[in-house]
Amino acid sequence: MILIEDIKKQIPYVLKGTSFTNLGDVYEGKVRDNYTLGDRRLIVVTDRLSAFDCIITEIPFKGQVLNQMATFWFEKTKDIIGNHMISVPDPNVIEVMEVSPMPAEMVVRAYITGSTSTSAWLNYKNGVRNFCGNVLPEGLKKDQKLDVPILTPSTKAEHGAHDESVSKEEILKRGEITEEEFDFMAKASFELFKRGTEIAAKQGIILVDTKYEFGKTKDGKIILIDEIHTPDSSRFWYADEYQARFEAGEEQKKIDKEYVRLWLVDQGFTGEGQVPNVPDEIKVEAARRYIEAYELITGTTFNAQIGDVHARVEQNLAKYI
């Protein structure tokens, strides 16, 4: 386990962003900077933390945690479906195959939860009993485990817009994905989810829900892209406290940005107006939790290198120029 002192030392060195000019076309997501040149893409996972669709601050080592968690899972699932990973040139960077993204995201949920207007739970609470083509039984409670995991596909919104949860039929109606392609992605998603659930369970973690993205290679093969089973694309709960909290109607103990979100809500921020200035102790505790989650889920020790992340990334990517 990392020392709090070491996390503190890293605060001035967090990776806020990059602006490399000779690595190809750049696409800046909320968290990742993507550089595309020909048939390869370099995804730089920064330390930015987003919440309520805003970039809030940077958390020491968050980029490394997320990148290494994704590469851990790509490795652990490559027998189920091929993925875009080529190499890991830096702890914060993955080199991937550039492919055409499939215009739908596959969300798998094993529990009914969430609090936003698009969440399965809020829909259910408001009377919805058919969620994206899944018929849900009466009497479910928040955070209850579903009999079997369900698939709730989502449209891929343009930069900045909100994705929409839809059924298979609605995806097919758009005419951009064939039924065969959809079924292939659906099958892979359930298998990936099963693998994720099993590996997480051994570490005392519940994989609650997650989102997969797929892309098509030049020769028409569908592969897994983007990120997999990271705290930015998935919900994780601590298994040992699940039942007691569920029965008491309490919030689950979560591995994600919930810690910072709750702090923001305490400051009166829920996405509107000025983003509050996040104090160092909140950043340090958020980092500690990310690293703890990494070590728990992967069963390996996090290798923290204190120092200028931007300089290291630049050096490690020099060979791509």
Ligand X SMILES: Nc1ncnc2c1ncn2[C@@H]1O[C@H](COP(=O)(O)OP(=O)(O)OP(=O)(O)O)[C@@H](O)[C@H]1O
Binding interface with ligand X (CB under 6 A): 29-32, 34, 41, 84, 96-99, 101, 159, 213, 215, 225-226
Report the residue number, 47 or 213, with the smaller CB distance to ligand X. 213
Q: Using CB positions, name the residue nearest to ligand X.
A: 29
Q: Least distance from C-beta 127 to ligand X, angstroms? A: 29
Assess contact for 172 and 179: CB atoms under 8 A.
yes
Q: Least distance from C-beta 167 to ligand X, angstroms? A: 21
How, if at all, do strands 100-111 and 154-155 pair?
Answer: antiparallel
Q: Least distance from C-beta 157 to ligand X, angstroms? A: 9
Report the residue number, 213 or 256, with the smaller CB distance to ligand X. 213
Q: Least distance from C-beta 30 to ligand X, angstroms? A: 3
Report the residue number, 58 or 213, with the smaller CB distance to ligand X. 213
Report the residue number, 34 or 144, with the smaller CB distance to ligand X. 34
The residue with tokens 């900077």 is: 33
Report the residue number, 142 or 211, with the smaller CB distance to ligand X. 211
Q: Least distance from C-beta 119 to ligand X, angstroms? A: 16
